[in-house]
Structure 1
C-alpha cells in the first residue's frame, strides 16, 4: 500500500475551492449557452427566463438560492467530481474496460457483535444512502458493465442484474464497496505512476480525461 494522504488532502482542498467551483460553473454555462446546438441554447435561454420571472414574481430569491441554486452548483460540482474521480483507474494502462470497476454502497452487517458495532454500521449505511442518491445515482455503481458490454446499453435499467449474471458466469470484474475505497484505489494508481503530487500546469476543465 502506498501513501495516498497527499491526494486526499488535495481532494478536500479542491472540493472547497472557489476556483474549482467557478471553473466548473463556467464550463457548464459555456456548454449550455455558447457551444451547444442552437435548439439547446434556445431551450437554455427560455428555461432561464421562465425561472427568473417565476422567482421574481413570487419574491422567493432566498428560497431559490438555498433550495435550488446552491444544490445545483456547489453540491452538484462536489458530487460530480467524486463520481468522476472514482469512475476509472485513471493512471492505469489498457482499455477503459480493464481500468473500470464497480462501486457499490454497503457494509457487511456486524452479526454477533456489540450494540455499538450495530450503531456504527447504521451510521455507515446512512452515509452509503447519501452516496447512492447524490453521487452514484442510477446505473453509476455498475459503470464498469457499460464498458464490458457496450452492445447491451439499451438494457441499462437492468445493468445491475446483467453485471451480476456475468460475474456468476465467470466474467472478470473488479468491485469496491464504499466510495472511499474506490477513490483510494484510484489514488494508489496515481501514487504508483507518478512523482510526488504537484500543482497542475493548467486549471482548464477542458483538459480533464474523458471516457
Structure 2
C-alpha cells in the first residue's frame, strides 16, 4: 500500500474519531425530575405568556381545571431564596397572575407558593378552586393547596414589603400540614379518602352552574 493511501486512511480515521467525540459532547444532559420546570419554560406547548421578567406555563399535571405557573427568568431556586430586593419581582408576578384570571369571573382562584417546594425555580401557582382534575390523586396534593402549607401570594408580598423577609415554616410543620385529615375547603365537610372528597367537590361545582 502506497504512503499516500496510508496517509489518506489515517486522515479519514482521525475525522471519524473527531465526529464521535463531537457527538458524545452533544448528547443532551439528563435533568433530575426536580428541574423539569426549567425544560417546560422552553416548551412552546406549555408556554402561554412571556416577557423580559417572567414566563407563564400550564402545569403539566394540573390539580384543577385551570392551573398555571408564573416563573421568573431570574434564577431563584425557590421561595426561601427570595430576598428583600425581590419585592418588586414578586409583586409583578402577583399582578401577572391577577391578569391571567381577570376574565374568569365565574371561578375562584388561589395564588401562592408551596412552603416546601419540590421543583426547582421559584414558581407561583395560579389554580382554580374546583380542584376537578384526575391529577389530584392524594391527600398530599390536596393539603398542599388547602392548608397553611400554601403561602398565599398576597400575604407573601405583604410580608416581604413590611418585614423584608418571608417567615420560614419548619419542615416538621410542613409535614403536619400535608398530613392533615381531608376536608372540603369550602364547607369543611370531612372526607374518608380522596374519592370521597372528589365526589363531594362535584356537588359544589354543580351548584355553581347556571
* Structure holding more strand per residue: 2
* Structure holding more helix per residue: 1
Max radius of gyration: which structure? 2
Shorter-chain TM-score category?
under 0.3
Q: TM-score, normalised by structure 1?
A: 0.23
- Higher-RCO chain (CA-CA 8 Å, sequence separation at least 6): 1
Q: TM-score, normalised by structure 2?
A: 0.24
